[in-house]
Amino acid sequence: MDPERLILEFQNLLFIESPSKKEGKLAYYIADIFEALGFKCFFDNSAENTGSEVGNLIVKIPGTIPSEPLFFCAHLDTVGPCENPNIIYENGIFRTDGKTILGADDKAGIAILIETAKVLKENFFPYPPLEFIFTTCEEIGLLGAKYLNIELLDAKEGLVLDSKSPQVIINGAPSSFKFFLEINGKSAHAGIEPEKGINAIHLLAKILAELPTGRIDEETTMNIGKISGGKYINIVPDLAIAEGEMRSHSQEKLEKLQQLIQHKVEEIIKKYPVKIDDLPSFKLKFKKIFQAFYIPPSDNLCQLVQKAGQRLGWEMTFKKHEGGSDANVFNEKGLKSLILGTGMQRVHTTQEFIEVKDLIKATQLVIEIIKLKSELS
């Protein structure tokens, strides 16, 4: 690999803004690079469902030896703020001036795959058939992966470049459910006849006070992230809404949390002392965002990554991750997937940064995985 070429390409990518649903410019830039290298590129039709400017980009790299194919994935979109980034590179670290995110999540992954493709084109070693997947709208619900037609892929297993340390293999991640709670009260003049109203905000507050939040146990969390309601301070509010999420590596614990929320809402509504016109009432909905997965370290894909790292002289560790990624969706679709680190740190904040040495290490690992895969074929 060429470290200077990798660094320059990564820097180029950082200046291409690609917030969710506006990944077009970045996607076409990447496609031009792979097509210039002689590899087949195409976009799927996921944009019809995601609302993105483009579909997921898929790159097919024919192998030089007969082997089961392997895929690698990085997502195209970033969180905000990402407009007009002031990129600073000093002392081997990329960061911004603190006004925007950096975008290493996940342009580090993209840069790694571009450099890998260039190394393959230079053909220093045999390699198996590969597929590079660049998904859209990952940051707003893993939408690109959810609407990816897996029949377009030949590979049945692969690696998602979307974590921190190159020496940590993420082999498990939780399920996530979103919940939506709507409380319906009754409006009235807050000063003249408040007794004719039912304060939906007050009722919602009583419910939320009874619910657990934060870290429930070592594998379960819950958060109430949004609250809204009311129109004017002199009107008893007739509507209040709360939205939140719960995550756990245990499906049973998620089901118990849902039952707890349902029970508390019903209990507090039933005990509320004021009843007017069948009010108060509520609506409670749960929606799965992504499904948990776990791949044991003894699995062949885990062993492939671990041995590749060991050949580089590294100590590789396995870890469960608390965030969601395209790997959750791929595993649910039957595509066995692990998550690899690219070196990105403090993602989703304006203090995001990446050390170039980690970016280089992550690229070395990807190349070594491909080499080892070919040797084992």
- The set of residues, in sequence order, having a beta carbon less than 8 Å from that of 237 and lying 6+ positions away, is 185, 187, 199, 200, 201, 229, 230, 231
Identity at 110, one-letter amino acid code: I
Residues 162 and 41: their CA atoms lie apart, in Å, by: 22
Q: Residue 273 corresponds to which tokens in the numbers above?
A: 């002392």
Rounded to whole angstroms, the Cα distance separating 250 from 248 reads: 5
Q: 350: exposed, middle or buried (C-beta count within 10 Å: 0-12, 13-18, 19+)?
A: middle
Question: Following DSSP, what letter does each residue of 200-265 receive, concatenated?
Answer: HHHHHHHHHTTS--EEEETTEEEEEEEEEE-S-TTB---EEEEEEEEEES-HHHHHHHHHHHHHHH
DSSP 8-state class, residue 7: H
- Among 9, 115, 131, 138, the active-site one is 138
Cα dihedral 95→343→337→41 (10° resolution): 60
Contacts of 190 by beta carbon, 8 Å cutoff, 6+ apart? 197, 233, 234, 235, 236
Q: How far is CA 200 from CA 154, 180, 185, 265, 305, in A?
A: 53, 15, 5, 12, 53
For residue 141, give both structure tokens. Answer: 């619900």
Element (H, E) at 24: helix 24-36
Cα 18 from Cα 4, distance rounded (Å): 24
> Which of these, 317, 319, 339, lies nearest to 328 by C-alpha position?
339
Q: Which residue, among 136, 211, 161, has the nearest Cα to 181 in the 3D structure?
A: 211
Active site includes 138?
A: yes
Active-site option among 44, 77, 162, 368: 77
Dihedral class, residue 38 (left if φ above 0, else alpha if ψ from -120 to 50, else beta)? left
210: Cβ contacts below 8 Å, ≥ 6 apart = 264, 268
Enumerate the active-site residues. Answer: 77, 138
